[in-house]
Each structure stands twice: as C-alpha cells, then as structure tokens.
C-alpha cells in the first residue's frame, strides 16, 4: 500500500512556494523523483499533502494538481506553539521564510533577527517535537559573502564574520540560521527513534516568470529613469531561475529520505551555473521597456558612500515617512562586487543539472505584454528624497576636488 508524504512549506505565500505548487514541479517531478529513487523503500512513497504556512492572511495560490491536498494556514514563525500544532504528522519541511532580503526591509533590524534566527530555531524545535524526517533550509550566499571578491568559491569557505559587516543584518542573521539548521542534523525527535536530517541550499538572487517582488522593482526604477549608470569593475555574479530552485528542493528531498544520504548535514551552493555581469543580466529588460542601457560606470566606493548616507537619513525619517531607499550598502556590494560559486558539489551529491540559465529574455517579454506587472515606482516624495540625497552627496564630494587653474 502506498504511503503518502506530508510536506510543510514555510514562506508559503512566497514566490518559490507558489512555483513549487505548479503541476510540473510538484506532481511530475517529485512523484517521479521519489518513485525512481535508488532506495527500494521509497518506491511506494509520493506527495499527498502540502501545507503552506505564512504570516500573510490572504495569499493568492496558483493552480495545483488535483490529486494533492493543499492547505494554507496563517502562522507566525515567532510563535512556536502554532508551529508545534501545524507540523503534526509531517514528514518533510521546506523552510523558505525569511525577512529583510532587499529594500527598506534590510534596515528593519529587530524584525530581521526575530524572523530569521528565532523563527528558524522555532522551526527546528517543532520538527524535533513532531519527529519530522527532513528539513531543507533556503539560505543565501551572503553567509560567506561580505563584500570581498569570490571567484568560483565552494562550500569550504568559512562564514563571513558578522562583526566585519554591521551593515548587513540579513546576511548575519541568515548565517546563524544556516548554522542552526546544519547543527540540528542527526538530532533525535521526541519519539526517541526518528532522526532529523537537514541540509542547506545557499541561493543567489532568484528570478523567473511572474516573479513579483524584485524584478518589478527594477523595472519601475528603469521606467522612472533611474537606471542611468553602472558601478563596480565588471561585477560578475550569478542568479538562479526559480525552476532550478524547486528542482533542487525536490532532489534534496529524495536524498534525505534515502537510507544512505549524501546531503544530510551538508550545505550546497546552487545557481544557474553561468556567472554573468550583473548589469548585462538586466539588459533584456531595458530592451523590452525601451530604456537606454547605461554607458557611464562609477566606482563602487562612491555608490557605497551614497547608500550609507541614504541609510542614515532613512533611520531618521522612517518613523515619520517610511520611504523606499534607492539602494542600501548590502545591495551595493551584492550588485557591484564579483562573487560567484561552484555548484559541483550539488551536481555530484544531488544530481543537480540547472536549466534555462540567465533566461531573462523570455521573462522580460512578460513586461511588454502585461505592463501592469511593473509595480508602481517610488512616490514622488520618496523619489525627491533619494535624488536630493544623491545630489547633496555629489556636491560634498565635488567640494573636495581641486579647482582647475
């Protein structure tokens, strides 16, 4: 008799969770991956139940396979009692929830640490309390990247010291969460027999069709005429198509449920596997939106200084006016400094084979046929604040330059 596998996804209202629910990802991929597993004991296991949990009360869920029972439950990860109840009878948990990845949320320090660190520890405790078999954590490359150049780094890289980057609470908090998940591997559940297996997927920027958080923000800035300059010295970075994220989640699930697991207690860098200049990655969007591609290149140090001043002003004004900063210091480093990683470990251990690498052309086309997906840009007040700050800082810098003649 077949045994149904019960899956819980934190961050259930988010983009990756929504993509995971698509028929091709969940029914076709996961069912076949599990059915063809090398482990004889897994041939009769398949996904029957998916529980999405998130703090949002009214998410919009995509269409999903009719033979899979999908539930959405509003849960705050910082309230462990709710998690203990939701995870009853669950086999696998995908911990995708996080806070403070970009924009003004990066400057909300208390919320970042509460969700990313305390929330993750609560998830681990709930997994052990309910004898969950596998926990997969969506981490970030920022756990090892702190503004230094990295060319083809691998999983032997140490965590970046948090005291050296006080400007990146998101990266520092995700680092502690990353450590907590890996340390939890091999812990025995409350029944005294079930062993929790964990692994970590360290992700770069995620993009894909119908992504409605980061790409629309970029498109809005382009339409407002703010994509005028590049910065940094040919910053080579990497991205990951959401279809590759979901694929790797499913591959890790298959491995962790086998009797002999390679992924248990391991971290993996995953990406499209084709590093690219950060600004070139967005060129297809400039073509679709009929926006000139920037030709002027400014030094990273100048943009970093501007972002620093913008952050200071935000901290003063946000109790009165919570505007969207043009850039934060963490965003400057992520977009202006070369950092990319080897995915060979994921290839060897999980059989990961990325597809649709840097496939922005087709995705950008969505903005031509459906212009409403471009989020409304910054308000004129926010725009005025940001531009005034940039102008003010530029004047200060120019005042220190020698006068000709």
Condensed to tens digits (0 to 9), the pLDDT of residues 102-113 reads: 889 999 999 999
Residues of the chain with pLDDT > 70: what percent? 83
* 113 and 194 part of one domain: yes
Q: Residue 169 pLDDT > 60, yes or no?
A: yes
Q: Is residue 392 in some structural domain?
A: yes
- 256 and 298 both lie in a single domain: no
pLDDT-derived band at 121 (thresholds 50, 70, 90) equals: very high
- Please state the rounded mean pLDDT for residues 165-182: 97
Residues 117 and 249 in one domain: yes
| Per-residue pLDDT at 401 | 47
Is the same domain home to 287 and 245?
no
Indicate if the pLDDT at residue 269 is higher than 70.
Answer: yes
Dihedral sign, CA of 151, 157, 161, 162?
positive
Check residue 405 and give its pLDDT. Answer: 43
Residues 385-396 have a mean pLDDT of 53
Q: What is the pLDDT of residue 357?
A: 81
* Structural domain harbouring 293: 276-338+362-396
Residue 241 lies in a domain: yes
Residue 403, in any domain of the structure? no
Whether 371 is covered by a domain: the verdict is yes
Distance separating alpha carbons of residues 113 and 262, to the nearest angstrom: 31
Same domain, 195 and 280: no
Q: How far is CA 218 from CA 105, 211, 224, 282, in A?
A: 16, 12, 10, 9
CATH number at residue 202: 3.40.50.720
pLDDT category of residue 371 using cuts at 50, 70 and 90: low
Choose from 13-22, 135-144, 280-289 the range with maximum mean pLDDT: 135-144
Q: Does the residue 286 lie in any domain? A: yes
Assess whether 181 and 324 both reside in one domain.
Answer: no
315 & 254 share domain: no
Give the dihedral sign, CA 132/198/24/102: positive
| Chain segment 273-308, per-residue pLDDT in tens | 999 999 999 999 999 888 999 999 999 999 999 999
152 or 216, higher pLDDT: 152
One domain for residues 318 and 350: no
Q: Report the chain's mean pLDDT, rounded to a whole number.
A: 85
Q: Is residue 225 domain-resident?
A: no
Query: For residues 212 and 17, what is the distance between their CA atoms, to the nearest angstrom?
Result: 13
The C-alpha atoms of residue 320 and residue 234 are separated, in whole angstroms, by: 38
Same domain, residue pair 107 and 244: yes
Is residue 223 assigned to a domain? no
Residues 283 and 166 in one domain: no
Mean pLDDT of 3-20: 88
Q: What are phi and psi of 286, to 5 degrees?
A: -65, -35
Q: Are 202 and 306 found together in one domain?
A: no
The highest-confidence range among 39-53, 102-116, 309-323, by mean pLDDT, is 102-116
Between CA 186 and CA 181 the distance in angstroms is 10
How does pLDDT run across 190-239, given as a tens digit for each residue?
999 999 999 999 999 999 887 877 888 788 888 888 888 999 999 999 99
Q: How many domains does the chain have?
A: 2
Q: Kindly state the average pLDDT of the residues 87-113.
A: 94
CA angle 65, 23, 268 (to 5 degrees): 125
Please identify every residue annotated as catalytic. 170
The answer to whether position 221 is within a domain reads: no
Domain co-membership, 251 together with 314 = no
| 215 contacts 285 by C-beta, under 8 angstroms | yes
Q: Strand runs (DSSP E) across 165-237, as ranges? A: 197-203, 205-207, 229-231, 236-237
Q: Has residue 330 got a pLDDT over 80?
A: yes
């Amino acid at each position: 008799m077949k045994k149904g596998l019960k899956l819980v996804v934190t961050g259930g209202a988010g983009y990756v969770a929504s993509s995971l629910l698509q028929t091709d990802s969940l029914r076709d991929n996961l069912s076949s991956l599990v059915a063809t597993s090398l482990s004889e004991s897994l041939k009769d296991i398949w996904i029957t139940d998916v529980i999405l949990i998130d703090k949002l009360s009214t998410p919009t869920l995509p269409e999903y396979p009719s033979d899979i029972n999908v539930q959405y439950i509003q849960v705050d990860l910082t309230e462990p009692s709710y998690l203990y109840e939701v995870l009853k009878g669950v086999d696998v948990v995908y911990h995708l929830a996080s806070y403070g990845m970009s924009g003004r949320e990066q400057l909300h320090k208390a919320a970042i640490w509460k969700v990313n660190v305390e929330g993750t520890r609560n998830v681990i405790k709930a997994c052990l309390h309910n004898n969950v078999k596998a926990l997969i954590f969506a981490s970030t490359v920022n756990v090892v990247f702190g503004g230094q150049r990295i060319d083809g780094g691998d999983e032997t890289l140490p965590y970046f010291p948090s005291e050296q980057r006080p400007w990146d609470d998101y990266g520092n908090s995700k680092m502690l969460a990353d450590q907590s998940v890996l340390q939890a591997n091999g812990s025995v559940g409350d029944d005294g027999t079930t062993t929790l297996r964990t692994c970590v997927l360290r992700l770069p920027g995620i993009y894909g069709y119908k992504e409605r958080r980061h790409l629309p923000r970029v498109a809005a800035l382009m339409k407002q005429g703010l994509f005028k300059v590049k910065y940094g010295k040919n910053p080579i970075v990497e991205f990951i198509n959401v279809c590759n994220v979901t694929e790797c989640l499913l591959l890790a699930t298959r491995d962790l449920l086998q009797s002999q697991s390679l992924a248990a207690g391991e971290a993996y860098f995953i990406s499209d596997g084709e590093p690219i200049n950060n600004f070139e990655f967005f060129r297809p969007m400039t073509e679709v939106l009929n926006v000139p591609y920037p030709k002027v290149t400014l030094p990273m140090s100048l943009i970093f200084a501007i972002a620093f001043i913008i952050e200071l002003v935000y901290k003063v004004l946000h109790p009165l006016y919570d505007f969207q900063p043009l850039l934060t210091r963490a965003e400057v480093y992520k977009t202006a400094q070369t950092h990319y990683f080897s995915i060979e470990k994921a290839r060897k251990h999980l059989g990961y084979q990325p597809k649709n690498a840097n496939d922005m052309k087709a995705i950008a086309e969505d903005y031509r046929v459906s212009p409403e997906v471009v989020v409304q840009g910054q308000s004129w007040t926010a725009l005025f604040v940001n531009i005034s700050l940039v102008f003010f800082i530029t004047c200060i810098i120019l005042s220190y330059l020698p006068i000709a003649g």
